Structure formats: C-alpha cells, structure tokens
Amino acid sequence: MKGLSGRRVLLTGGASGIGRATAIRLAEEGCRVGILDIDEAGAAATIARCPGGAWFARTDITNRTNVEATVAQFETEIGPIDFLANIAGWERFRNFLDTDTALWDRIIGINLYGPLHLHHVVLPGMVQRGFGRIVNVSSDAGRVGSSGEAVYSACKGGIIAFTKTVAREVARKGITLNVLCPGPTDTPLFDEFKAGTPDGAKVGEAMARAVPLKRIGQPEDYPGTIAFLLSDDAAYITGQTLSVSGGLTMS
C-alpha cells in the first residue's frame, strides 16, 4: 500500500488478537512498529513474527504517566510518530444490572480513557508536524448495542463520537482519524465472552450463523483495512466508521 513504508506507528494491544495481526501486517508493509501492551510475553511472540522486529514498551494505557513516558521513549529512540492505532481493549460480559462500579471503572479505563490518553499525548506532535493518521478500533457493539456489554458498548460508541469530533478539530492540520468496528472475532476476548455465557460454544456457533458470510472474524480479517486507513490511499477519508463484520451489521 502507498505511503506505509518507513512510517513510524504506535499501536496498542499488539500482544494478542487483532493488535498482533495488525503489528505483523504493518511490519510487513515496512512500518517501524511500536507496541504498547501490558502482556510482555505476548508482545515478544508478536515481535518474533514481525519482519525486521518491532519496538515494545510495557505500558498500561489506563495510566497517563505511563503513556507519557512510553511516547517520549519511542520518540527518542525511534522518532516522531506518524500513525497511531488504538487497538487494546478489554471486557467482562454481564447484564448491566449485574455489574458494579468497580467493573465500570475497569472497562471505561481501558476502552475509553486508554485511547483518550493516547490521543492527548500523541496528537500535539502530529499537529506540530502537520501530519498524522489515527485508526481507532471500536466495535459493532458501539453502533448497534450488544447484550451483556452495556458499559463496553457505551465506551465503543463514545470512541466513535470522539473520533468524529477530533477528526473535525484537527483536519486542517493534515491529520485523519477513522474507526474500524470488528464484529465477533476469534480472539482471547471472544473466548472470555463464550466462557461468561451459559452454553458459550453454542452461542458462538449461533453468532457465526447470524453472520451473512457465515463465520466469525479472524484477527487477520482486519489489518488490511487498518493499513489502508493509515495509507496514502485513504488520505481523503476522515471521521468515518467502517464495520468489518462479515455483513453482520449493515449501517
């Protein structure tokens, strides 16, 4: 794809699932990939599969000081950040009335505050340089809702609205922001969903049947779209939300 080779990308959640597949794909495209994650072993496994390797700093995206230190370290060691991909996420599946505020805090901390911190720390440099591309991984839950995921859906819907707003604010600075919404995808997060659901295996099969393309997603279904939204081919696209979910949601 045009305009990816040699670019520096900071990517959260690269130790697993969609983030891992994206880190590998962007490394294959010639990007210099920096991974932020709390899972060191998972990140090492990702890096082993990245052509040319990747940079990693153990970073808890809910912790502002930690995010600031990592961004500064990356810029010192690798250089200015061209691309940001917010992919890290977390969820525990419960009906809303069975949740408590401690769970809300954790879900909001990772899925909403995490990306907010990354934007707030990384964007000033992009504004100064007059260039940047950001992709935020939300969820179809943020577009159409999802039983057992009320607070997570609120965060994911929030990220969509946040992205549109910031996209307007920084458009004149040469920066684009877009959102990718996966549907149900075969990753540890989805295993957690099945484990937390009575008859989880059957629910998983039923979900696959509900998808027009008749399967749930694989992590490798998304990196091409993320790479496209970061590439020069997408230079005239901003503030958009794209579902990649086998046709499950058509909105």
Catalytic residues: 152
Instruction: Please list every residue from 38 through 97 that binds ligand NAD, using CB under 6 A.
Output: 38-39, 42, 59-62, 87-90
User: Residue 126 to residues 165, 174, 188, 233: CA-CA distances in angstroms?
Assistant: 17, 8, 33, 19
Q: Are 17 and 189 in contact (CB under 8 A)?
A: yes
> Which SS3 state, helix, strand or coil, does residue 113 take?
helix
**With respect to ligand NAD, which residue has the nearer C-beta, 18 or 108?**
18
Instruction: Choose the binding region for ligand NAD from 7-15, 162-170, 196-204, 235-243 (rule: CB under 6 A).
Output: 7-15
Q: Among the candidate windows 16-24, 47-55, 194-202, 228-236, which touches ligand NAD by CB under 6 A?
A: 16-24
Find out whether 232 and 134 touch, Cβ atoms under 8 Å.
no
Task: Quote the least distance from Cβ 183 to ligand NAD, whole Å.
Answer: 6
Cβ proximity to ligand NAD: between 59 and 241 the closer is 59
Establish if 12 lies at the interface with ligand NAD (CB under 6 A).
Answer: yes
Give the total of residues touching ligand NAD (CB under 6 A): 31
Q: Is residue 49 within 8 Å of residue 73, measured between CB atoms?
A: no
Say whether residue 15 binds ligand NAD (CB under 6 A): yes
Using the rule CB under 6 A, which residue among 34, 132, 148, 184 binds ligand NAD? 184
- What three-state secondary structure class fits 244? strand
Query: CB–CB of 1/228 below 8 Å?
Result: yes
Please give the residues from 96 up to 135 whose contact with ligand NAD meets the rule CB under 6 A: 110, 114
Helices assigned H by DSSP within the chain: 17-28, 40-48, 64-77, 101-108, 114-129, 141-144, 150-170, 188-195, 200-210, 223-230
Q: Compute the distance between CA of residue 64 and CA of residue 230 in angstroms, rounded to an integer.
A: 25
- Amino acid identity, residue 97? L
Window 187 to 246, contacts with ligand NAD (CB under 6 A): 187-190
Choose between 127 and 144: whose C-beta lies nearer to ligand NAD: 144
- Residue 29, SS3 per DSSP: coil
Q: Give min distance, CB of 171 to ligand NAD, in A.
A: 24
Q: Is 153 in the site for ligand NAD (CB under 6 A)?
A: no
Alpha-carbon span 178 to 180, nearest angstrom? 7
Interface with ligand NAD (CB under 6 A)? 12-13, 15-19, 36-39, 42, 59-62, 87-90, 110, 114, 137, 139, 182, 184-185, 187-190
